[in-house]
């Protein structure tokens, strides 16, 4: 197993490089960019334009974070819409400030070198390092994903076992209707419904709509802090659980049904063992192998997909909202920094997933499969 783990860790390097390269090339081909954003503001009106001019001018704009911002890019240099009438020196200063005065290949190699030491540079528009932003936002996303995954398993496994032992009964039929509805409607639509009904949208005003905790959270006693935290998390977690429990429930049911029909179950029943002991003493471990071992993957799926829209809808200041705002604002260091962290976490949890298979069932040998 040790050699398998080492090989998987080594394979993470080209996988990370491939993911970063593909997204870097996509950004290169995509229109717009931080320079174009500033030009649009300068040629328009508003306070933001004046602020951008002040930042880009003065000392030439090449200092500060320009040397640590190799991420992303725009189209060919000098090809910016709305730049007519602006001094060429101003455009060059902007390019230097954002690090676009270097060829794309050099920027990518600089980015890879910095990311190898977890140096993600500084945000273009937040005046903070990307690492600080990720550290600030990561607990929110992990908290949301972890609670959702735990509740999903606590609901789906007992429900799936009950459906398997009552296969074909009215209980199985009506719970299947609920599962189908939960599988058909995305989590963000449930979130919208919960907001309308329970968060002051049109009917009840029982739960807060924004934030992870209340503004006066620090002044509360620690029991009330816990209550306030779960009060804010209730609707987002409910929306994610409703949108994710269906697949796991059916997986649990089908896994149990497959094991119940195995010969060793027939033999155990023929020996006179009680049905409960047959189910939970023999069937449960084998049936739960694929379900429990898939916990890391389920966590990754919730964290990287559904949680992003939920964070946006409920204004939860996590990595999903941070990444969304970075895309809107073309904040490339934040975009690539969060992408790098997401990809790395996904690869690590995939490895943990394989290790859990061997822990739950020592008969599984990944090294033997590869020889």
Q: What is the pLDDT of residues 226-239, one digit of tens each?
A: 888 888 888 888 88
Q: Where are the beta strands (DSSP E) in the chain?
A: none
Tell me what the mean pLDDT of segment 67-73 comes to: 46
Tell me what the mean pLDDT of segment 41-55 comes to: 47
Ranges of each domain in the chain: 2-124, 131-329
Tell me what the mean pLDDT of segment 197-218 comes to: 80
Comparing 86 with 243, the larger pLDDT belongs to 243
**CA angle 288–294–296, rounded 5-degree value:** 140
In this prediction, residue 228 carries a pLDDT of 87
**CA angle 362–367–371, rounded 5-degree value:** 135
Question: Residues 346-363: pLDDT tens digits?
Answer: 788 778 877 777 776 666
On the question of pLDDT at 313 being above 80, the answer is: yes
Comparing 198 with 89, the larger pLDDT belongs to 198
Tell me what the mean pLDDT of segment 307-318 comes to: 81
Phi, psi (degrees; rounded to nearest 5) at 199: -115, 35
pTM > 0.75 = no
Which superfamily does CATH assign the domain made up of 131-329 to? MetI-like (1.10.3720.10)
| Average pLDDT value for the chain | 76
Comparing 265 with 59, the larger pLDDT belongs to 265
Within 10 A of 22 (CB to CB), how many other CB atoms are there? Answer: 10
On the question of pLDDT at 71 being above 60, the answer is: no
Question: Residues 88-97: pLDDT tens digits?
Answer: 676 677 667 6
In this prediction, residue 56 carries a pLDDT of 41
In this prediction, residue 195 carries a pLDDT of 86
Tell me what the mean pLDDT of segment 1-6 comes to: 78
Question: In the structure encoding, which two tokens stand for residue 146, read together?
Answer: 């972890």
Question: Residues 126-161: pLDDT tens digits?
Answer: 878 888 888 888 888 888 888 888 888 888 888 888
Of the given ranges (57-66, 73-82, 190-199, 331-340), which has the lowest mean pLDDT?
57-66
Q: What whole-number distance in Å separates Cα of residue 52 and Cα of residue 296? A: 43
Q: What whole-number distance in Å separates Cα of residue 159 and Cα of residue 44? A: 58
In this prediction, residue 81 carries a pLDDT of 56
Question: In the structure encoding, which two tokens stand for residue 322, read together?
Answer: 């941070």
In this prediction, residue 46 carries a pLDDT of 36
In this prediction, residue 42 carries a pLDDT of 67
Decide: 194 and 235 in contact? Cβ < 8 Å.
yes
Tell me what the mean pLDDT of segment 108-121 comes to: 87
On the question of pLDDT at 31 being above 60, the answer is: yes
Of the given ranges (118-122, 123-127, 128-132, 169-173), which has the lowest mean pLDDT?
123-127
Comparing 168 with 55, the larger pLDDT belongs to 168
Q: What whole-number distance in Å separates Cα of residue 35 and Cα of residue 120? A: 19
């Amino acid at each position: 197993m040790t050699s398998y783990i080492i090989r998987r860790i080594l394979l993470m390097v080209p996988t990370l490089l491939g993911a970063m390269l593909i997204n870097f090339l996509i950004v290169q081909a995509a229109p717009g960019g931080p320079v174009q954003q500033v030009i649009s503001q300068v040629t328009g009106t508003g306070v933001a334009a004046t602020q951008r001019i002040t930042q880009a001018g003065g000392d030439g704009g090449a200092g500060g974070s320009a040397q640590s911002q190799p991420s992303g890019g725009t189209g060919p240099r000098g090809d910016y819409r709305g730049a007519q009438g602006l001094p060429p020196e101003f455009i060059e200063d902007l390019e230097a400030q954002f690090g676009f005065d270097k060829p794309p290949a050099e920027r990518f190699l600089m980015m890879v070198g910095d990311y190898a030491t977890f140096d993600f540079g500084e945000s273009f528009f937040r005046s903070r390092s990307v690492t600080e932003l990720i550290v600030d936002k990561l607990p929110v996303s992990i908290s949301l994903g972890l609670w959702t995954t735990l509740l999903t398993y606590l609901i789906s496994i007992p429900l799936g076992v009950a459906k398997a032992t009552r296969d074909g009964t009215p209980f199985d039929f009506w719970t299947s209707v609920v599962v189908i509805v939960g599988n058909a409607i995305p989590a963000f639509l449930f979130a919208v419904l919960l907001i309308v009904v329970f968060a002051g949208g049109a009917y009840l005003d029982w739960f807060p709509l924004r934030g992870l905790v209340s503004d006066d959270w620090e002044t509360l006693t620690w029991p009330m802090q816990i209550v306030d935290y779960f009060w804010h998390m209730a609707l987002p977690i409910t929306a994610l659980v409703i949108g994710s429990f269906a697949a796991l429930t059916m997986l649990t049911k089908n896994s149990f049904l497959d094991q119940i029909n195995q010969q060793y179950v027939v033999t155990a029943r023929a020996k006179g063992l009680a049905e409960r002991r047959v189910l939970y003493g023999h069937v449960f471990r084998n049936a739960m192998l694929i379900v429990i071992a898939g916990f890391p993957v389920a966590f990754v799926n919730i964290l990287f997909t559904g949680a992003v829209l939920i964070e946006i809808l409920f204004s939860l200041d996590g990595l999903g909202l941070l990444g969304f705002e970075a895309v809107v604002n073309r904040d490339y260091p934040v975009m690539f920094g969060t992408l790098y962290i997401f990809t790395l976490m996904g690869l690590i949890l995939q490895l943990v997933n394989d290790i859990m298979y061997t822990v739950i069932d020592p008969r599984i040998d990944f090294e033997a499969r590869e020889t």
